[in-house]
Amino acid sequence: MNLPHHVPRKTLTDGWIHIRPVGPEDTVEFYAAFLESWPTLRLWMNWGEEIRDIRSAQAHLELKADEWRRGEAYSFLVESEDCRFLGMCGLSQFNWRHRFANVGYWVRPSQRGKAVMPAAVRVLARFAFGELKLHRIELLIEPSNLASRRAAEKSGARFEGQLRGRICNQGLARDALMFSLVPEDVDSRSGAHSET
């Protein structure tokens, strides 16, 4: 099924937003951003309850690095020249037979409303289509998550419909709006370039 063998841990950028593979070396910044964000993340995320202190934050990032090594998920820290930790984005839930995956993301509250995540998603999409050779990436968003819907639209993702009971949040089946990006949606003229 043509799985990627070794995916290099490179930083990618559009010149403004940088996405960098996250690891335990980012624990201090991650934990500060997580504490700031958790009250607004817990509404939408089905992870995070396990992060209770700096040690569990480090364990969380060690898991992210392990997932990368095993090719199960690719998690990136989002940063810019002005801010070392804007948020995170990543790809998971791969279907290699049909070459698609799920996009996840969050931005710390103090950095929201600056179109950080629409830009980060476009850089992530170029990684997905260029490095991983995926054919499609999906964004599944609860209908009431208006900020995420707008971020998806602004990234260039296309709305495809409402799926019943498609995601599980706090133990309950929830409907989800399906947005997707395919390679044609990403402007190749302003392609992301890797730094290191």
Ligand X SMILES: CC(C)(COP(=O)(O)OP(=O)(O)OC[C@H]1O[C@@H](n2cnc3c(N)ncnc32)[C@H](O)[C@@H]1OP(=O)(O)O)[C@@H](O)C(=O)NCCC(=O)NCCS
Residue type, 62: E
Among 9, 42, 154, 166, binds ligand X (CB under 6 A): 154
Q: Which is nearer to ligand X, 32 or 41 (CB)?
A: 41
Phi–psi pair at 11, nearest 5 degrees: -85, 140
Residue 118 interacts with ligand X (CB under 6 A): yes or no: yes
145 binds ligand X (CB under 6 A): yes
Per CB under 6 A, which of residues 2..61 are in contact with ligand X?
40-41, 44
If binding is defined by CB under 6 A, does position 83 make contact with ligand X?
no
> Over the Cα atoms of the chain, what is R_g?
16
Phi, psi of 109 (to 5 degrees): -55, -40
77 binds ligand X (CB under 6 A): no
Name the one range near ligand X by CB under 6 A: 46-54, 56-64, 94-102, 104-112.
Answer: 104-112
- Answer whether 34's CB lies under 8 Å from 138's CB: no
Is residue 174 at the binding interface for ligand X, with CB under 6 A as the rule?
Answer: no
Query: To 10 degrees, the CA torsion angle through 98, 145, 35, 57?
Result: -20
Residue placing its CB nearer to ligand X in the complex, 57 or 89: 89
Window contacting ligand X (CB under 6 A); options: 50-58, 64-72, 109-117, 157-165: 109-117
CA angle 99/100/105 to nearest 5° reads 150
**Does residue 147 belong to the site contacting ligand X (CB under 6 A)?**
yes
Segment interacting with ligand X (CB under 6 A) among 20-28, 65-73, 102-110, 126-134? 102-110
107 lies in the site for ligand X, by CB under 6 A: yes
**How far is the CA of 120 from the CAs of 11, 14, 15, 124, in angstroms?**
12, 8, 11, 6
Q: In the beta sheet, which residues pair with residue 193?
A: 13
Please compute, for residue 9, the number of CA atoms within 13 A of its CA located in the half-sphere on the CB side: 16
Using CB under 6 A, pick the residue from 19, 22, 33, 141 that binds ligand X.
141
Binding of residue 85 to ligand X (CB under 6 A): no
Report residue 83 as tokens. 């801010």
Site for ligand X, rule CB under 6 A = 40-41, 44, 105-107, 112-118, 141, 145-148, 150-151, 154
